[in-house]
Amino acid sequence: MPETDVDLAEFDVVGIGNALVDVIAHADDSFIRRESLVKGAMTLIETERAVSLYRALGSAVEMSGGSAANTMCGIASFGGRAAYIGKVCDDELGRVFGHDLRAVGVSFRPGFPEADTPTGRCIIVVTPDAQRTLNTYLGVSSLLCPPDVDAATVAAGKVLYMEGYLYDRPAAKEAFRAAAKIAHANGREVSLTLSDSFCVDRHRDDFRALVTDEVDILFGNEEELMSLYEVESFDDAVARARADCALAAITRGSAGSVVVTPDEVIVIPAEAVERVFDTTGAGDLFAAGFLYGYTQGLSLAACGRLGSIAAAEVISHIGARPLVDLQKLL
């Protein structure tokens, strides 16, 4: 009775990612040029650069972020059961991060402490066109390694969700592989978000092998998918994904999203949004809606629609986590 097994799972989704606090500020395009930022992308920065960039920045707001953590909060906001594995320091930002997960009902597994390496942070510059440019100082989040991945937690989640950003450090990459093996050994599904086209560029071969070998559900946006397969057209990328994965959900900004399997292609329009304030978290919340629907056994079209609803909510305000109970939007 596999249905009974699934119903007994403690979590709908278990996420693993870089645990980051977002530092969000507004700036115009001249700031982006002056600071030589790569607009729209995520760039990894070291301590010195983090300090100088923060100094140049206007007044900011701090709120918990981290791509997979945002997704887990979205799932909890829909009423789903989510757990999160990610490393923070026992400092103020680390405490804020843990609080904000627990406050929305996400079970937090922070892994093992590491002396003094501070909690990671992501400096997000929002330009007047609502685009966000991310500059991530990973701090302790990047020290995630296999012992931090609590096997019982991974085994207890219907779907494992991992962010591609983790692939930037070898030990985290190992943790990622270990988690996927635990999930599969327990009859769970493994999902991956490609995270960022530059991140895909940095680790293309690894990502391709992973998608082929381990990934049951692939998330990403069209640029990331085209980068993964090094193709020039979206259609070519979709064809490759259909050959590689059992299921892929690809976002296309205001053009909505496409959900594909080897057998079908489902096109889902974007939800109407009165005004786009800040696109931070759009992909994270699309994945949240999709996975919430998926773990409730909804049709793929319904999953995509939940993704669109959650993404629409999060882009209509500042910050990468929902401000309202997503349940109420259903």
Residues of the shown chain interacting with a second copy in the complex, contacts defined by CB under 8 A: 25-26, 54-55, 57-64, 73, 91-93, 96, 99-101, 103-104, 118, 319, 321, 323
In the complex with a second copy, the residue whose CB is nearer, 93 or 259, is 93
Least Cβ distance, residue 16 to a second copy (angstroms): 20
Going through the chain in order, the beta strands assigned E by DSSP cover: 11-16, 20-26, 42-44, 61-64, 82-85, 107-109, 120-126, 132-137, 157-163, 189-193, 217-221, 247-251, 257-260, 265-268
Q: In what order do the strands lie in the sheet with 217-221?
A: 107-109, 82-85, 11-16, 157-163, 189-193, 217-221, 247-251, 257-260, 265-268
Least Cβ distance, residue 90 to a second copy (angstroms): 12
**Rg of the chain's alpha carbons, rounded to an integer?**
18
In the complex with a second copy, the residue whose CB is nearer, 140 or 245, is 140
Q: Where are the alpha helices (DSSP H) in 219-299?
A: 222-229, 234-244, 282-295
Helix, strand, coil percentages, rounded to 5, for the chain = 45, 20, 35
In the complex with a second copy, the residue whose CB is nearer, 117 or 296, is 117
Least Cβ distance, residue 98 to a second copy (angstroms): 10
DSSP code of 256?
-
In the complex with a second copy, the residue whose CB is nearer, 293 or 322, is 322
How far, in whole angstroms, is CA 112 from its chain's centroid?
A: 22
In the complex with a second copy, the residue whose CB is nearer, 62 or 235, is 62
In the complex with a second copy, the residue whose CB is nearer, 25 or 298, is 25
Q: How buried is 54 (Cβ within 10 angstroms: 0-12 exposed, 13-18 middle, 19+ buried)?
A: middle
In the complex with a second copy, the residue whose CB is nearer, 237 or 314, is 314
Least Cβ distance, residue 61 to a second copy (angstroms): 5
Residues present in the chain in total: 330
Least Cβ distance, residue 62 to a second copy (angstroms): 4
Q: How buried is 48 (Cβ within 10 angstroms: 0-12 exposed, 13-18 middle, 19+ buried)?
A: exposed
In the complex with a second copy, the residue whose CB is nearer, 21 or 190, is 21
- Strands 20-26, 61-64: pairing is antiparallel
Least Cβ distance, residue 112 to a second copy (angstroms): 22
Least Cβ distance, residue 94 to a second copy (angstroms): 10
Residue 159 contacts residue 13 (beta carbons within 8 Å) = yes
DSSP code of 40?
T
What SS3 state is found at 158? strand
Least Cβ distance, residue 92 to a second copy (angstroms): 4
Distance between start and end Cα atoms, the chain: 30
